Amino acid sequence: MQKLLGKIHSYESMGAVDGPGLRFVVFMQGCPMRCAYCHNPDTWEFSGGEQYSPEQVVEKAMRFAPYWKAGGGVTISGGEPMMQSAFCAEVFRLLWERGVHTALDTSCAGGISGAEDVLQYTSLAMVDVKFLSEEAYRKYCGGSFAQVEQFLRLAERMGVPLWVRHVVVPGLTDGQSHIAALGAYAKKFSNLKKIELLPFRKLCLPKYEQMGIPFPLQNTPEADELQVEKLRELL
């Protein structure tokens, strides 16, 4: 039998913004989407990254277990984790057996077929809902809103706690009516625990310049934190 391996871009040992508490974060390599505001273009190509077995990932993660006493754990992010669903499911299964809180940070790209295997060992699903229409997803992400909805319905049926995450981009996703619609949409799911509004930032610009890739939103200003806070209050 061929050994199960995953392509991993990088690790973060003490992540503070990737789920509850301090977390060991696994960034998977490879993503089929091309979001206009993506801050990790270096994770796009499936040919990159280094190969690890699930056991190796868990061994790395467990070294930081003493820091998880206040509610932390392990997050798998990307890239797009669902493009390597079998690998992520096995990592989460091994962690689940050890009583570790597991969080999946996903844009729901890739087939829905492997999602159930991952979600059965997922303590928290953090889903990036980028837009609210198929047209906007195609235009700004190269993705599918219908696929996001499929994933959200599956997570609800399986009773997996849900955080909806949304990047607030000036002139694109910062309108009050848009945020109100996002809130109304998210609150339809009975497993919703939180809606996170993330301010658009351009810390990724050096990556794009180094890779020789134009950043689609180069001339878009960063989100104003006070304005984002007002939108949070709206929710």
Q: Starting at the edge strand that comes first in sequence, how are the strands of the sheet with 162-168 ordered?
A: 50-52, 6-15, 23-28, 73-77, 102-106, 124-128, 162-168, 192-199
Length of the chain (residues):
235
Res 2: pLDDT: 67
Sorted by sequence, the CB contacts under 8 Å of residue 151 that are 6+ apart come out as 82, 106, 108, 112, 115, 127
Structure tokens at 158: 């399986």
Express each pLDDT in 175-225 by its tens digit.
999 999 999 999 999 999 999 999 999 999 999 999 999 999 999 999 999
Are β-strands 162-168 and 124-128 bridged in parallel, bridged antiparallel, or unpaired? Answer: parallel
Cα–Cα distance between 120 and 103 in angstroms, integer? 12
Place of tokens 């990159």: 48
Confirm if 89 and 104 have CB atoms less than 8 A apart: no
Peptide bond preceding 99: is omega within 30 degrees of 0, i.e. cis?
no
Tokens of 171: 């002139």
Confidence of residue 18 (pLDDT cuts 50, 70, 90): very high
Read off the pLDDT of residues 143-175 as tens digits, 9 standing for 90 and up.
999 999 999 999 999 999 999 999 999 999 999
Domain boundaries, given as residue ranges, for the chain: 6-234
pTM of the model: 0.95
| pLDDT exceeds cutoff 70 at 1 | no
- What tens digit of pLDDT does each residue of 79-136 get? 999 999 999 999 999 999 999 999 999 999 877 889 999 999 999 999 999 999 999 9
Q: If you compute the radius of gyration of the chain from its CA atoms, what whole number of angstroms results?
A: 17
* DSSP secondary structure of 95-114: HHHTT--EEEEE---S-STT
- Identity of the residue numbered 63: R
Pair 104, 125: CB distance under 8 Å:
yes
Q: How many CB atoms lie within 10 A of CB 20?
A: 19
What pLDDT is recorded for position 71? 87
CATH class of 6-234: alpha beta
Instruction: Read off the pLDDT of each residue in 40-60 and give the average, rounded to a whole number.
Output: 96
CB neighbours of residue 142 within 10 Å: 14
